[in-house]
């Protein structure tokens, strides 16, 4: 790897290149081609050929090809920020703010989706929360003089702000009612208190309170409201959403605050892997070492994950193929996808430092992306797609492809999976932590131009990771940043036998290894 010099411009797209196995090399290609695919095919362009900023949920006339799904765009905004596509991220933020209007209470709350050019409100809180978190991630990485930074502040601090909407709702109802796939669930209409939505709102409020305090943002009153609402909501997650077996309850009735019969009984919600979103989305705010903090939401998240994994058919599919099935009943338990099924599960496996799980899961995702078990329509065999069926599914050759290749969220979540493998954690002010987690047998990773947060906004980091082929233990990390870095901590070895190294803050290269 050629280490970049301090004089190179900070306008390069981040690139992750895995090596050491056929799956590692193939995953690198899938990431690069899928990212380029959504940037060229999903981005909405005006008649003059200029991007309007937002992305369609799918392409080429497939379902939802003419709609902006807020959940998908929030995830894409997050990845644009983390991969250094700041101009595209700014354009997307502005496009999303143009697509929302005040709800009946006067707050900007995003719908599940809107048609291109539409402007609506709604109660799809997982989308709203993710958009706000991703906007804050963008805001804190932009230079102080960037005008979009001020526009983000204006949006978040306005009387109509989504943040004020949830602090108001929590003050009145203790929890926030929402709709959609993460409200009542697939096919369940109405408003519900959903565990994933309320957890994502808690993470959103936590990030807003922390960043507003650190930056001295204009509304101290709103910051205090965020702190109070975060504490209240985290407490309610534990007191209201934890079942007797210590797993998460999917959804509560908004009148009784008891588990919702309608939501719980729906076949689409049985074993839905989307519940892993409580844990996976926490990493967007609280970092990639969740077990170190041991907050109360960790235990039920882990217990839920293990309970889902232990279901016989899911366990059989995972043991046989490395496939994490997304539902117990839907599609006879033979379906998954790189977003809420395999994607969220893989993120959990990585965050929990379980290489025996994420090695199998990652290798299967990579192979199934390149060689699906049923015909799908795409011009590039490296594009991620929506529906992955088990090799054991007797109907797999006739299954519908749904949104198909380049379904937006099904590209965004693998991009996050790759970042979790790269292991950059910059959520703590004045500190950057590197915790590489490569599947066993993937012995190398070259990272180019990955943005990391600094007091001045961000700098770009280039580094290489080497691991032991038999154990996955990290043996060496070397690299250099484009500008001064905060204090850098690097975890070598494994989670069970970590070997932490520290590098002093400042500019220049670093080279840490177990034999150094």
pLDDT for position 77: 98
5 pLDDT higher than 70: no
Q: How many CB atoms lie within 10 A of CB 46?
A: 9
pLDDT in tens, 331-368: 999 999 999 999 999 999 999 999 999 999 999 999 99
Task: Classify residue 451 as exposed, middle or buried by CB count within 10 Å of its CB (0-12, 13-18, 19+).
Answer: buried
pLDDT for position 212: 76
pLDDT band at 403 (very low <50, low <70, confident <90, very high): very high
pLDDT band at 282 (very low <50, low <70, confident <90, very high): very high
pLDDT band at 273 (very low <50, low <70, confident <90, very high): very high
Instruction: Give the whole-number percent of the chain exceeding pLDDT 70.
Output: 95
> CA-CA distance, 379 to 28, in Å (whole number)?
18
> CA-CA distance, 69 to 92, in Å (whole number)?
12
Ramachandran assignment for 114, one of left (phi > 0), alpha (psi -120 to 50 degrees), beta (any other): beta
pLDDT for position 1: 25
Sign of the torsion formed by the C-alpha atoms of 253, 259, 261 and 263: positive
93 pLDDT higher than 90: yes
pLDDT for position 13: 80
> CA-CA distance, 470 to 199, in Å (whole number)?
37
pLDDT for position 364: 98
- Please state the rounded mean pLDDT for residues 200-204: 97
pLDDT for position 508: 74
Cβ neighbours of residue 7 under 8 Å, at least 6 residues apart? none
Domains of the chain in start order, with CATH, are 56-269 (1.50.10.10), 431-513 (no CATH)
> CA-CA distance, 484 to 9, in Å (whole number)?
14
Residue 34 is inside which H or E element, if any? helix 22-37
- The mean pLDDT value of the chain amounts to 93
- Please state the rounded mean pLDDT for residues 45-56: 80
Residue 413 is inside which H or E element, if any? helix 408-422
> CA-CA distance, 299 to 303, in Å (whole number)?
6
pLDDT band at 17 (very low <50, low <70, confident <90, very high): very high
SS3 490: strand
Higher model confidence: residue 456 or residue 219?
456
Q: What is the DSSP letter of 219?
A: -
pLDDT in tens, 460-492: 999 999 999 999 999 999 999 999 988 899 999
Residues in the chain: 516
2 pLDDT higher than 70: no
Cβ neighbours of residue 145 under 8 Å, at least 6 residues apart? none
- Please state the rounded mean pLDDT for residues 266-274: 95
> CA-CA distance, 368 to 364, in Å (whole number)?
6
Tell me the helix, strand and coil percentages in the chain, rounded to 5: 45, 20, 40
Could you report how far apart the first and last alpha carbons of the chain are, in Å? 20
pLDDT for position 515: 61
pLDDT for position 221: 82
What is the DSSP annotation of 225-278?
A: HHHHHHHHHHHHHHHHHB-TTSPBP-EE-TTT-SBPHHHHH-GGGTT-GGGGHH
> CA-CA distance, 470 to 442, in Å (whole number)?
10
pLDDT for position 7: 35
422 pLDDT higher than 50: yes
């Amino acid at each position: 790897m050629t280490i970049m010099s301090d004089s190179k411009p900070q306008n390069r797209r981040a690139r992750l290149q895995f090596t050491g196995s056929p799956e590692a090399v193939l995953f690198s290609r899938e990431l690069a081609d899928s990212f380029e695919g959504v940037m060229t095919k999903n981005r909405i362009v005006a008649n003059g050929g200029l991007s309007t900023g937002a992305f369609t949920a799918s392409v080429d006339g497939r379902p939802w090809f003419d709609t902006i799904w807020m959940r998908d765009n929030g995830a894409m905004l997050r990845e644009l920020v983390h991969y250094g596509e700041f101009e595209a991220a700014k354009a997307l933020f502005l496009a999303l703010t143009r697509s929302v209007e005040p709800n009946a209470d006067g707050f900007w709350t995003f719908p599940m989706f809107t048609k291109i050019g539409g402007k609506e409100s709604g109660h799809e809180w997982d989308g709203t929360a993710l958009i706000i978190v991703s906007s804050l991630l963008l805001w804190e990485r932009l230079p102080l003089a960037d005008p979009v930074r001020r526009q983000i502040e204006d949006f978040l601090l306005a009387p109509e702000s989504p943040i004020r909407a949830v602090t108001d709702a929590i003050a009145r109802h203790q929890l926030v009612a929402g709709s959609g796939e993460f409200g009542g669930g697939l096919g369940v209409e109405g408003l519900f208190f959903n565990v994933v939505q309320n957890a994502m709102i808690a993470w959103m409020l936590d990030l807003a309170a922390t960043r507003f305090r650190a930056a001295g943002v204009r509304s101290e009153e709103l910051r205090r409201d965020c702190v109070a609402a975060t504490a209240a909501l985290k407490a309610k997650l534990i007191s209201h959403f934890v079942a007797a077996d210590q797993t998460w309850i999917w959804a509560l009735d908004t009148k009784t605050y008891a588990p919702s019969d309608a939501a719980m009984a729906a076949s689409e919600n049985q074993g839905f892997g989307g519940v892993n979103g409580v844990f996976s989305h926490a990493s967007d705010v609280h970092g990639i070492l969740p077990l170190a903090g041991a907050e109360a939401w960790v235990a039920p998240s882990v217990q839920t994950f293990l309970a889902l994994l232990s279901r016989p058919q899911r366990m059989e599919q995972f043991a046989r193929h490395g496939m994490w099935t997304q539902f117990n009943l839907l599609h006879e338990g033979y379906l998954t996808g790189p977003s809420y099924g395999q994607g969220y599960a893989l993120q959990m496996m990585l965050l929990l430092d379980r290489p025996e799980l994420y090695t199998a899961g990652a290798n299967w995702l990579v192979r199934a992306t390149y060689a699906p078990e049923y015909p799908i329509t795409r011009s590039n065999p490296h594009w991620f797609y929506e529906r992955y069926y088990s090799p054991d599914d007797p109907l797999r050759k006739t299954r519908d492809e749904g949104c198909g290749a380049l379904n937006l969220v099904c590209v965004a979540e693998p991009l996050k999976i790759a970042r979790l493998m790269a292991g950059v954690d910059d959520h703590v002010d004045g500190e950057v932590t590197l915790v590489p987690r490569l599947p066993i047998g993937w012995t190398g990773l070259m990272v180019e131009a990955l943005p990391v947060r600094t007091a001045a906004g961000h700098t770009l980091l280039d580094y290489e990771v080497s691991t032991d082929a038999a154990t996955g233990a990290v043996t060496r990390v070397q690299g250099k940043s484009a500008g001064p870095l905060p204090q850098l901590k690097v975890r070598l070895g494994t989670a069970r036998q970590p070997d932490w190294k520290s590098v002093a803050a400042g500019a220049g290269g670093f080279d840490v290894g177990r034999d150094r």
